[in-house]
Structure 1
Amino acid sequence: MSSLRRRRYVLAGLLAAIGLIAVGILWAVVETVFFTVTVAYVLYPLRQRLVGRGVPRRIASGLVTTFAFLVVVILISPLVWTLFRRRDAIIELLGNLPDELPIEAFGVTYNVDVGGLVTSTSNALRDLAFSVAADSVFILLQLTLFTILLYGLLLRPSAVGRAVFEITPPSYHDVIRALHRRIGGTLYALYVIQAATAVLTFPVAFLVFFALGYEDVFVLSVLSGILQFFPIVGPGMLAVGIAGHDFLLGQTDRALAILILGPTIIGVVPDVLIRPKLATRQAHLPASLYFVGFVGGVLTVGVIGIIAGPLIVALLAEMVDLLSDGKMPEEG
């Protein structure tokens, strides 16, 4: 074995060992670091466009980082603020449900205990609101870490790439490029397309909920937008829950209306208007595999699995494609 190859393997081993140690020590912020890296992956083309138009790379990195910071704040603030301020109204809404729900089937009446479920849900909402308030300092620190790390990654985007190519034998560089393209396409689909769909979902949901006479129109519209990030179920899951609530209160007509309009109008219309226009750089990952990655990722590693699950499934699909082709992809 040549000294150059031995040096490459030693450096690769040290990188892996130090990486594992870093993950163990920095586990409390590993989710923030992971999300920041994936966001930098998506925003890198925007940074390159600014640099290509003559903007200095430091200023371009700063502008893109500021844009990402504002987007995160705009997305998080309404949900957190609404849940904290409207928790009493939500709990009161749950309190209007009957203690027992009689269900008749085959001539036998069953009484379902709704009161216990309402109590546990109300306690969970209170705990969530106070937890958000108590952890506000930690949230601010995470947001600060996100901003600083994102700026650093955008300022020197090629540093990691050079390290990976340095420790990887030249005959495998085309594989690295193929995985890089798959990562870029997957993250574009997960962030850009989903985010654009969620943004359009808000006004569509607002009109539907307002027309049907719901009181918490803003909260329901925000939740509908967020649920666009959930594959397959989406806002339809919220519509089913609202329809069940209306049914328990005796508002059968509105329950049927939201059960029909929720999945069709709120769930489908934004997809039809947004996805075809942004589909040119999708991950080319079937919905079934996306769902498996999403659910498996969330159940295994928590919130980070929303991105990590589909991403690892996409990389697995790419490796299967490379093996099934019987040849390595061409450079491009």
Structure 2
Amino acid sequence: MADFLSGPIGEDLYRLRRTHMYISMKPHSSPLDRPTLVLVFVVFLAAAVAFWDLLWVVVLALSLAVVVLPLQRCLVERSVPEGLSALMVTTLVFLLLTGAVGFTVAVLAQNADFLAEIVQGITGWIGMAGGGPAPGVGPESELAVWFDERFASFADAAAAFAAQVPTLVLDFIVFFLALYMFVYRGAAVAVELTAALPARLRSAVERMTAASVDTLYAIYIVHVATSVVTFLLAIPFFWVLGYDHIIFFSLMAGIFQLIPIIGPSVIMLIVGAFALSQGDLRGAALAALVGYPVVCALPDIYFRPLMMGRRARIHPVIMWIGFFGGLVVMGLVGFVLGPLFVVLAITAYHILVEELEGSKEAVDA
């Protein structure tokens, strides 16, 4: 018996006993309590169902808060209290958004008659080119009828939108209240939740968080900044073009820059068609040889990669899939959540591959 205990098996039993004594001496850490987790999950689910119609507003506020948090941290580092700095950042976002929306609506309203004139001129020119009716009889053409139907549907949509204004005002209020709270306490909550996770899970969550921040940076900062650059580049071009309505054309180019793939090329195509309908070959040549390279291509080829830098290397095709897929599935909020979910899925794939490779190496060893 003494020989048995002094052999290798005896040494293993001794080490196992010492390990058991060491574990029993450590402070007891209770495992996760399942009833508590179920209760928390039920509360979260009930809150999501109760506020389902406002959930997209909260999600948009959270995504925007992630982008503007560095500005709030910068103010805190300058000895501005956290609550006041969050209020200042939220106020700045409010002024920028309301100013941009108000400016856009005012410009479009002032140029509604000119837009109708452009449409009538192009439809009449297409009818003449196809051997159809004269410009004065243009509305009888199929294309003119199609435009009339589109304008009628647009008017119906505008009436429906006007009926929803009170609800949108409430959504607007909730959005900025949620934005303030996310800016004020969002970073602290994220740190608390991440610190409570196990080490390997925490590493995966941190990688997904970094990918999410880079994607939101690309959507909000780079995408919107490229649209602003397009607007500024379009102003001198349309001034040289000489059609007046410079701000209207430039604003439309900036708005269309927000639409992936399509971009302001549609505006240049419309301007070129309108120039040809007026017999202005100079204007059509400027739109093709100057407007497209400077206003359409230059922001995407030079300014977008310059602003993106090395922070977020996201393939453009992935962004396009996220944009269009998100818009189809989730509506307007999908413009933000679509690319975010696609990038998170790709990041999760890479994490899964690394975990499988690590497990395989451990088994082989």
Return the TM-score normalized by structure 1. 0.84
Counterpart residue number, 1:45: 70
Residue by residue, what CA displacement relative to the aligned partner does 1:115-174 show, whole Å, maximum 9, x if unpaired?
A: 112201322343354445444433332222222111111111235425643774443010
CA distance in 2, matches of 1:247, 1:218: 21
Quote the residue 1:242 is aligned against: 271
Query: Residues 43-99 of structure 1: CA distance to partner in whole angstroms, max 9, x if unpaired?
Result: 111111111221110111111111111111122111223333433432343234329
Q: Distance in 2 between matches of 1:259 and 1:15?
A: 60
Deviations along 1:202-236, whole A, 9 cap, x unmatched? Answer: 12111112211223321221121122222233111
Aligned to 1:141: 170
The answer for the alignment partner of 1:86 in structure 2 is 111
Q: What one-letter code is carried by the residue in structure 2 that aligns with 1:98?
A: G
Residue matched to 1:108: none
Alignment of 1:316 with 2:341, yes or no, is no
Counterpart-to-counterpart distance in 2, 1:81 and 1:285? 35
Aligned partners of 1:82 and 1:135: how far apart in 2? 22
Contact 2:118/2:274 (<8 A) preserved:
no
- Work out whether residues 179 and 315 of structure 1, in 8 Å CA contact, stay in contact via their aligned partners in 2: yes
Q: Which amino acid aligns with 2:256?
A: L
Amino acid at match of 1:289: I
The answer on 1:173 being equivalent to 2:202 is: yes
Structure 2: which amino acid aligns with 1:223? M
Secondary structure (helix, strand or coil) at the match of 1:6 reads coil
Per-residue deviation at 1:277?
4.2
Conserved in 2, the CA contact under 8 Å of 1:293 and 1:312? yes
Q: Which amino acid aligns with 2:315?
A: P
Distance 2:110 2:157 in 1: 12
Extract unaligned runs of 5+ from structure 1.
106-110
More displaced stretch, 150-159 vs 248-257: 248-257
Match of 2:99 among 56, 70, 74: 74
Give the equivalent residue in structure 1 for 2:58. 33
Q: Which runs of 5+ in 2 are unaligned?
A: 1-27, 132-139, 360-365
Q: CA RMSD in A?
A: 3.0
CA distance in 2, matches of 1:302, 1:15: 30
- Measured in 1, the distance between the counterparts of 2:312 and 2:358 equals 21
Higher Cα Rg: structure 1 or 2? 2
What's the offset of the Cα at 1:300?
Answer: 1.2
Structure 1 CA distance for aligned equivalents of residues 308 and 35 of structure 2:
42
Amino acid paired to 1:70: L
Distance 1:302 1:262, change over 3 A: farther
Superposition TM-score, scaled by structure 2 size: 0.77
Contact 2:260 2:323 survives alignment (8 Å): yes
Matches of 1:288 and 1:234 in 2, distance apart?
15
One-letter amino acid of the structure 1 residue matched with residue 77 of structure 2: G
Matched residue SS, 1:101: helix
* Residue in 2 that maps onto 1:304: 333
Residue of 206, 209, 221 corresponding to 2:238: 209
| Amino acid in the other structure paired with 1:44 | L
Q: Does 1:56 align with 2:85?
A: no
| Counterpart contact for 1:236–1:267, Cα < 8 Å | yes
Deviates more, 1:194-203 or 1:111-120: 111-120
Letter in 1 for 2:295: I
Name the CA distance, whole Å, in 2 between partners of 1:27 and 1:242: 43
How do 1:114-263 residues align onto structure 2 when only pairs under 5 Å count? Answer: 114-162=143-191, 164-165=193-194, 168-263=197-292
Please name the residue that 2:134 is paired with: none
Choose from 98, 108, 111 the match for 2:124. Answer: 98
Per-residue deviation, 1:3: 8.6
